[in-house]
């Protein structure tokens, strides 16, 4: 009877949900209703999928695992639809409609075998919650609310180098006090349903600072990806079709087409919000399996802020893929410690989702699943498993550089590899200890941790590995192997692979992206080290307990500051955010051109504003009419224009673009005869550039109190 009623309830929910979904998509297109439906979609269908993917878990753990699997399936299905044909609203609605029956079918297949044990980490025996706990929870909420209010009060559309340029120090005081009270609550280990929710809120504030401070958007890459998503939303595809990034595009377009949530909103919130919602539960679930102690597992949540979280502060394919890798590692913990039946192959689905999102994270994710499946301990030491495991480890240590070599050969005919430069120095430099002093106690503490954060994390992981060898007989060895593989990949990328096609300051970016990935694979070991320390401190002196809580809160607050670009006594910020003046310049140029073809020489932020406002409207062969990417030929002309503004450089830029168009049979752009040169007031030697350009430009004007100057050149007239 209970099973029958459960089926009726499930069918009723699915019917009502689909009716509201289709009505909203076809008639109302209300984003608020769409967001509510999306939350219900992930919570309910995610829980059903979780019963299959994590049958030995209960409640919230099943829900986060199932929601993650469901999102992974959407990424994979959306990518398949995109590659085969187009990802349209019909495709998105088809995926949403199919999700309910598929999720219910999977939940019906879930069962507990004799070797499995159900466990619910969050549930506690009924008891009276002390009033002091509710007072503490109120203080945490109040502090986080104050932090949000301070961040919003610092919101700006001006060109600034860092989030913190317009945000007062009071934001760190309020966040730090919240972190201190929350760390104390977590250390106690009780009322886990509330403390996990508070951790989620704190992580959300931590990751959403840039979204709150920069209403126009943050960074550069998100503008490019948003423009791509809007193009695909309108036309169903984009040409040429990218071989990656599609996992993010599928998720954003799924939310837009099926749930009527604006692309700009999804593009701003997707990664920070998913990280805040999924990471605390994933971390806590892994900690409970590792420590066999729910209270200690809850206490380790304060260690979540030791992770390199800066990759999650904005929505990019790399950030989304990195998040999926970290969740993959945490989700694999029950299998690694053999708390439940092996569930390796279901993890292949999120690994596939990572692969179609970004290869730098997708290759390690795929290798990790292979290593899990072939791990000799899991296969009774069989010689074939051992051979496959170590073959994968060796080949995986060079897999990412090899992918760049293959791409270079396809593009240029040369491998772009110089093994004579090979060195492990770049990888080991991240483990070096840095000590410095600017005679500012607070800032000195922040950077004492920040400059040594990677070394601290690795040291904690080493302690955790030593404990795992003693307590778990090397069950976590595969994590160390994966991290070592990524370190080798990073060393080769940093020294032996030729990235001369990139601008100077971007050439180490690819190797740098492997650092957080390598640390993510060590996260379970850090959990084990932190949890063991907390277990030993709990019965100890009050002073030691207070010091532990205070240190964790201080490190969380320092991480909050360090997660974003900075301009202070330790670091000089060189990048500026897209400003309203940049947007105004783009529209002013478009209006001045009055429909005649033109190209623009401008910096990266103005180019990002152009992509945001105009989309991919004009290409001359393979070159966009604004100078992006920064390693491109048109950007070189922009740099030359900064050195010596004049008609000769403008003519060279026109000749370059028109020649590219004439060589491309698909280029239909008319010949451009006008060049606009944009100078931001913060640019190096801006006064000299402006005064020189005023003397030889055909015309010029200034915008927003001279924040931007625009110069017009017509060298052929």
User: Using one digit for the tens of pLDDT, what is the confidence trace for 116-132?
Assistant: 455 666 666 667 888 99
Question: Is residue 588 domain-resident?
Answer: yes
Secondary structure (3-state) at 563: coil
Which tokens is 302 given?
A: 């304060």
Question: Is residue 598 domain-resident?
Answer: yes
Cα(264)–Cα(275) distance, integer angstroms: 18
* Mean pLDDT lowest among 2-16, 348-362, 685-699: 2-16
Residue 113: pLDDT over 50 = no
Which tokens is 30 given?
A: 């209300």
Kindly give the residue spans of alpha helices, DSSP state H, lying in 220-262.
221-235, 246-259
Q: Which among 471, 715, 566, 475 is positioned nearest to 167, based on CA atoms?
A: 566
pLDDT over 70, % of the chain = 91
Question: Is residue 124 domain-resident?
Answer: no
* Mean pLDDT lowest among 22-26, 58-62, 201-205, 684-688: 58-62
Mean pLDDT over 66-83 rounds to: 96
Instruction: Provide the β-strand partners of residue 676.
Output: 600, 712
Cα(486)–Cα(478) distance, integer angstroms: 12
Domain count, the chain: 1
Mean pLDDT over 640-658 rounds to: 97
CA angle 332, 336, 341 (to 5 degrees): 85
Residue 4: pLDDT over 60 = no
Question: Is residue 550 domain-resident?
Answer: no
pLDDT band at 254 (very low <50, low <70, confident <90, very high): very high
Question: Is residue 330 domain-resident?
Answer: no
Residue 413: pLDDT over 80 = no
How high is the pLDDT of residue 340?
A: 61
How high is the pLDDT of residue 471?
A: 78
Residue 9: pLDDT over 50 = yes
pLDDT band at 505 (very low <50, low <70, confident <90, very high): very low
How high is the pLDDT of residue 240?
A: 82
Question: What value does the mean pLDDT of the chain take?
Answer: 90
C-alpha distances out from residue 186 to 221, 429, 523, 548, 549, Å: 36, 34, 18, 12, 9
pLDDT band at 212 (very low <50, low <70, confident <90, very high): very high
Mean pLDDT over 490-507 rounds to: 65
SS3 annotation, 153-184: HCCCCCCCCCHHHCCCCHHHHHHHHHHHHHHH
Top pLDDT among 446 and 631 is at 446
Cα(252)–Cα(261) distance, integer angstroms: 9
How high is the pLDDT of residue 415?
A: 62
Cα(538)–Cα(553) distance, integer angstroms: 17
Question: Is residue 658 domain-resident?
Answer: yes
Cα(192)–Cα(301) distance, integer angstroms: 11
pLDDT band at 112 (very low <50, low <70, confident <90, very high): very low
| CB hemisphere CA count around 328 (13 angstroms) | 34
How high is the pLDDT of residue 509?
A: 77
Radius of gyration of the chain (CA): 27
Question: Is residue 552 domain-resident?
Answer: no
How high is the pLDDT of residue 425?
A: 54
How high is the pLDDT of residue 380?
A: 74
Residue 268: pLDDT over 50 = yes
Q: Which among 375, 364, 366 is positioned nearest to 342, based on CA atoms?
A: 375
Top pLDDT among 326 and 510 is at 326
C-alpha distances out from residue 227 to 231, 267, 612, 615, 698, Å: 6, 10, 6, 5, 32
Q: Given the structure tokens 């099973």, which residue do they identify?
A: 3
How high is the pLDDT of residue 629?
A: 85
DSSP class of residue 497 equals B
Mean pLDDT over 383-400 rounds to: 91
Residue 304: pLDDT over 60 = yes
pLDDT band at 282 (very low <50, low <70, confident <90, very high): very high
How high is the pLDDT of residue 547?
A: 96
Residue 617: pLDDT over 70 = yes
pLDDT over 90, % of the chain = 75
How high is the pLDDT of residue 492?
A: 87
Which tokens is 493 given?
A: 């990328």
Range of the domain at 633: 580-713
Residue 183: pLDDT over 70 = yes
Residue 360 makes CB contacts below 8 A (sequence gap 6+) with 318, 321, 400, 510, 513, 514, 517
Top pLDDT among 495 and 341 is at 495
* Mean pLDDT lowest among 149-158, 188-197, 524-533: 188-197
How high is the pLDDT of residue 504?
A: 47
Q: How many residues can be counted in the chain?
A: 717
Cα(668)–Cα(687) distance, integer angstroms: 38
Instruction: Provide the β-strand partners of residue 620.
Output: 623
Question: Is residue 435 domain-resident?
Answer: no
Residue 279 makes CB contacts below 8 A (sequence gap 6+) with 203, 304, 323, 326, 327
How high is the pLDDT of residue 500?
A: 55
Mean pLDDT over 559-572 rounds to: 93
């Amino acid at each position: 009877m209970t099973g029958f009623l459960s089926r009726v309830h499930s069918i009723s929910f699915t019917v009502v949900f689909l009716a509201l979904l289709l009505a909203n998509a076809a008639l109302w297109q209300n984003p608020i209703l769409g967001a509510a439906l999306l939350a219900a979609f992930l919570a309910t269908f995610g829980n059903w999928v979780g019963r299959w993917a994590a049958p030995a878990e209960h409640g919230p753990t099943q829900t986060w695992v199932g929601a993650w699997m469901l999102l992974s399936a959407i990424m994979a299905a959306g990518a398949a639809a995109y590659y085969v044909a187009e990802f349209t609203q019909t495709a998105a609605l088809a995926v949403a409609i199919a999700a309910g029956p598929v999720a219910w079918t999977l939940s019906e297949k879930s069962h507990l075998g004799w070797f499995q044990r159900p466990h619910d980490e969050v549930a506690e025996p009924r008891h009276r919650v002390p009033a002091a706990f509710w007072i503490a929870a109120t203080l945490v909420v109040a502090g986080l609310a104050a932090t949000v209010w301070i961040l919003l009060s610092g919101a700006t559309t001006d060109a600034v180098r860092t989030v913190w340029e317009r945000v007062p120090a009071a934001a760190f005081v309020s966040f730090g006090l919240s972190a201190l009270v929350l760390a104390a609550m977590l250390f106690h280990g009780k009322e886990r349903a509330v403390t996990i929710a508070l951790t989620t809120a704190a992580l959300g504030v931590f990751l959403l600072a840039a979204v709150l401070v920069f209403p126009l958007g943050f960074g550069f890459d998100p503008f490019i990806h948003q423009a791509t998503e809007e193009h695909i939303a309108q036309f169903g595809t984009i040409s040429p079709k990218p071989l990656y990034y599609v996992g993010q595009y599928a998720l954003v377009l799924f939310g837009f087409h099926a749930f009527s949530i604006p692309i700009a909103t999804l593009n701003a919130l997707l990664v920070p919000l998913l990280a805040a919602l999924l990471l605390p539960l994933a971390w806590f679930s892994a900690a409970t399996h590792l420590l066999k102690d729910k209270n200690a597992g809850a206490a380790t949540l304060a260690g979540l802020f030791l992770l390199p979280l800066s990759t999650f502060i904005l929505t990019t394919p790399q950030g989304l893929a990195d998040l999926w890798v970290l969740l993959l590692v945490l989700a694999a913990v029950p299998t690694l410690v053999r708390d439940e039946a092996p569930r390796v192959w279901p993890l292949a689905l999120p690994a596939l989702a990572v692969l179609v999102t970004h290869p730098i994270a997708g290759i390690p994710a795929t290798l990790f699943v292979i290593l899990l499946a072939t791990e000799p301990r899991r296969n009774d030491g069989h010689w074939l498993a051992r051979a496959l495991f170590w073959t994968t480890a060796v080949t995986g240590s060079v897999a990412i550089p090899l992918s760049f070599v293959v791409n270079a050969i396809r593009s240029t005919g040369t491998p772009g590899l110089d093994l004579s430069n090979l060195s492990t120095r770049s990888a080991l430099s991240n483990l070096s200890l840095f000590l410095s002093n600017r005679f500012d106690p607070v800032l000195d503490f922040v950077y004492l941790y920040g400059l040594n954060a990677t070394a601290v994390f690795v040291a904690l992981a080493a302690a955790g590995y030593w404990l795992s060898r003693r307590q778990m007989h090397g069950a976590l060895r595969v994590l160390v192997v994966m991290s070592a593989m990524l370190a080798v990949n990073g060393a080769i990328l940093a020294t032996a692979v030729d990235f001369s096609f990139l601008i100077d300051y971007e050439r180490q970016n690819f190797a740098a992206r492997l650092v957080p990935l390598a640390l993510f694979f060590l996260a379970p070991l850090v959990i084990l080290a932190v949890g063991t320390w907390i277990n030993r401190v709990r019965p100890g002196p009050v002073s030691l307990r207070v010091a532990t809580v205070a240190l964790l809160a201080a490190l969380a607050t320092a991480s909050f500051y360090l997660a974003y670009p900075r301009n202070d006594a330790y670091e000089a910020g060189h990048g500026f955010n897209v400003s309203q003046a940049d947007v105004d310049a783009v529209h002013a140029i478009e209006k001045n051109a009055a429909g005649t073809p033109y190209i623009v020489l401008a910096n990266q932020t103005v180019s990002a504003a152009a992509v945001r406002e105009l989309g991919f409207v004009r290409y001359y062969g393979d070159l966009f009419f604004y100078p992006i990417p920064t390693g491109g030929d048109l950007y070189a002309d922009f740099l030359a224009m900064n050195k010596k503004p004049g008609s000769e450089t403008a003519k060279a830029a026109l000749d370059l673009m028109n020649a590219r168009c004439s060589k491309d049979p698909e280029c239909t752009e008319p010949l451009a005869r006008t060049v606009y040169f944009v100078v931001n007031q913060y640019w190096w030697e801006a006064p000299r550039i402006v005064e020189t350009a005023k003397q030889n430009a055909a015309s010029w004007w200034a915008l927003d109190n001279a924040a931007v100057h625009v110069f017009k050149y017509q060298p052929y007239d």
